[in-house]
Amino acid sequence: MKKTIFSLLFVLLLSIGLAGCGGSNESSGDGGGDSGDGGEEAGGTLIFGRGGDSVSLDPASVTDGESFKVTKNIFDTLLDYGDDNTDVQEALATDWEVSDDGKTYTFTLREGVKFHDGTDFNADAVVYNFERWMNGNEEAFYYYKSMFGGFKGDEGHVIESVTAKDDYTVEFKLKRPQAPFLKNIAMSPFAIASPDALEKQGDKFGENPVGTGPFVFDQWNRNDKIVLNKNEEYWMDGYPKLDSVIFRAIPDNSARLNALMAGEIDLMDGLNPSDVQQVEDNADLQTFFRPSMNVGYLGLTSNREPLNNKLVRQALNHAVDKQALIDSFYAGQAEPAKNPMPPVIGGYNDEIEPYEYDLDKAKELLKEAGYEDGFEMELWAMPVPRPYMPDGQKVAEVLQKSFAEIGVDAEIKSYEWATYLEKARNGEADSFLLGWTGDNGDADNFLYVLLDQDNIGSNNYTYYENQELHDLLIEAQSTPDEEERNKLYAEAQEIIHEDAPWIPLVHSKPALGGSSTIKGFSPHPTGSDKLTKVTLQ
């Protein structure tokens, strides 16, 4: 009978233990996240729970969102995005002018701003930072290369020179107009760091960051927490409100939710859509939804049989019921996608008629393409939750079923995440689930990056090629006039819609959970939030 008891125990373990799969690894020694009862002037400590630790706190050198979440609060950029959009507004620069030929930008800097180490912020500091980046290499400053086309001496490098006109005026000369220049300048990687600290710290700067931001770096225990304290001399009058912010890494989504419910943390991102209801039903908690600046899609590798046939790709597009997907696996917090970029992005073509969910139409198209009896293909599903697709496996199962309705037999496959990306990038998948979160809110950052033939082998995983589209996208890159540029992008989206290299699925609004005491928090579409205006009551 011993065996029976053991087996029973094992079943219990299976059904309960693994299912709950929780338990936070350690308790924060900082005694909960509750604020003092200080009334309106309440400062307090906000504990932000997230899925992973930062890589480095030198924003110029990293690419991961978990690093930017922290550096955004330690550093400022010359320009910043709006609280919940990507319109540029003043930050360290109070004013900026563009020459008529679009090749000279002059920034007027904010006076009286000091870095956390007490040194002055001025034009020389800005020049120092840009010189540092443009003399670097791809390994050190990936985003600089990807946004400004290379480094000093490179053919594609956009910035000719950065010079200090006087203490508080900086002039950028470009080799050719770059339409999204201001949006690029506002990106987290291009935050201005203290030149003095950069000199002193050298390689260690990433562990001892010094900026001008609302919070001052205090300490970092790897894979556990990062502590930031209030910058008492922040240039924005009366801000920040919080006394300190602690970023804690709790990898498992359910464990993080448990920590939130237990009061160990005050705010968490990566809330499972299936848990949204539970948080909303809890009077002590509230949910936030990040405005959508992403797209989740099914890529149809367009150089593989039979997906190289446009009609087949269109047929598959007709076979997907996006709204049902959203209701089921996004807790309704997403909108169906018809274009490769979300509607908040300038240049979005709302005239496009989406491929409606119509199985008869899909079958007709398959018949026309000569695949009346359907075909077999692989359908890859990502193994990890992503902001644009919290549960790829489930989405894949729904798609598998939808495709089966029109005779397409899809086999779901999955690999470990890094392998998945590598194999998909190599064009080894027939169809694959993937997505993209915008970096700077510009159309170029979606259409060119994801679908231009230049980026095959990089971010264009579908191997989709179209010369006409390529010409449009390249032209748009150096067209400073907003209206004209948007027209080019509208046209580009029509071509993409017709060729259907993807099934655009959703633009999701990733969910966050927080204590109901949090006020003034608005999640930013880029995924990293400035906590300057947040209070705990």
Partner 1 sequence: MAEIAPQKQVNVQKQPDEEVLSPWREAWKGFRRNKLAMVGMGIVLFFILLAIFAGVISPEGINEQKLGERLQAPSASHWFGTDDFGRDILSRIIYGARISLWVGFFAVLGSAAIGSLLGMVAGYYGKLVDTIISRIFDIMLAFPSILLAIAVVAVLGPSLRNALIAIAIINIPNFGRLVRSRVLSVKQEEYVMAARAVGMKDSRIIFHHVLPNSLAPIIVQGTLAIATAILEAAALSFLGLGAQAPQPEWGKMLADSRSYIIQAPWTVFFPGLAIMLTVLGFNLLGDGLRDALDPKMKK
Q: Can you give the binding site for partner 1, defined by CB under 8 A? A: 1, 3-4, 7-8, 10-11, 14-15, 18-21, 254, 272, 274-275, 277-278, 321, 324-325, 327-329, 393-394, 396-398, 400-401, 412, 414
CB atoms inside a 10 Å sphere around CB 360: 9
Nearest Cα residue to 318 out of 352, 277, 269, 360: 360
Rounded least distance, CB 355 to partner 1, Å: 19
- Comparing CB distances to partner 1, the nearer of 207 and 397 is 397
For 69, phi then psi, to 5°, come to: -55, -35
* CA–CA distances in Å: residue 517 to residues 70, 115, 510, 514, 535: 21, 31, 21, 8, 8
Rounded least distance, CB 3 to partner 1, Å: 6
DSSP strands (E only) in 156-277 = 159-166, 169-174, 215-221, 225-230, 244-249, 267-268
- Comparing CB distances to partner 1, the nearer of 331 and 496 is 331
Rounded least distance, CB 420 to partner 1, Å: 13
Rounded least distance, CB 60 to partner 1, Å: 38
- Comparing CB distances to partner 1, the nearer of 163 and 278 is 278
Rounded least distance, CB 7 to partner 1, Å: 5
> SS3 letters for 47-64?
EEEECCCCCCCCHHHCCC
Nearest Cα residue to 270 out of 285, 284, 294, 287: 287
Rounded least distance, CB 503 to partner 1, Å: 17
What span, in angstroms and rounded, lies between the C-alpha atoms of 205 and 304?
47
Rounded least distance, CB 118 to partner 1, Å: 49
- Comparing CB distances to partner 1, the nearer of 2 and 100 is 2
- Comparing CB distances to partner 1, the nearer of 2 and 467 is 2
Rounded least distance, CB 95 to partner 1, Å: 50
Q: Which residue reads 């006087």 in tokens?
A: 166
CB atoms inside a 10 Å sphere around CB 31: 10
- Comparing CB distances to partner 1, the nearer of 413 and 533 is 413
What span, in angstroms and rounded, lies between the C-alpha atoms of 393 and 415?
11
What span, in angstroms and rounded, lies between the C-alpha atoms of 376 and 74?
51
Give the tokens for residue 323: 């709204």
Rounded least distance, CB 328 to partner 1, Å: 5
- Comparing CB distances to partner 1, the nearer of 187 and 410 is 410
Count of CA atoms in the C-beta half-sphere (13 A) of 409: 5
The residues near 461 (Cβ < 8 Å, ≥ 6 apart) are: 299, 301, 424, 425, 427, 429, 432, 434
What span, in angstroms and rounded, lies between the C-alpha atoms of 416 and 123?
46
Provide the 8-state DSSP code for 294: E
Q: Which residue reads 């194999």 in tokens?
A: 423
Length of the chain: 537
Nearest Cα residue to 184 out of 64, 81, 67: 81
- Comparing CB distances to partner 1, the nearer of 323 and 453 is 323
What span, in angstroms and rounded, lies between the C-alpha atoms of 369 and 533?
56
Rounded least distance, CB 272 to partner 1, Å: 6
Q: Kindly give the pairing relationship between strand 409-413 and strand 169-174.
A: unpaired
Rounded least distance, CB 18 to partner 1, Å: 6
- Comparing CB distances to partner 1, the nearer of 106 and 414 is 414
- Comparing CB distances to partner 1, the nearer of 92 and 319 is 319
Angle made by CA atoms 35, 36, 42, in degrees to the nearest 5: 80
Rounded least distance, CB 6 to partner 1, Å: 9
Backbone angle region of 39, left / alpha / beta, with phi > 0 → left and psi within -120 to 50 → alpha? left
- Comparing CB distances to partner 1, the nearer of 253 and 349 is 253
- Comparing CB distances to partner 1, the nearer of 143 and 380 is 380
What single string gives the DSSP state of each residue in 97-122? EE-TTS-EEEEEEPTT-B-TTSPBP-
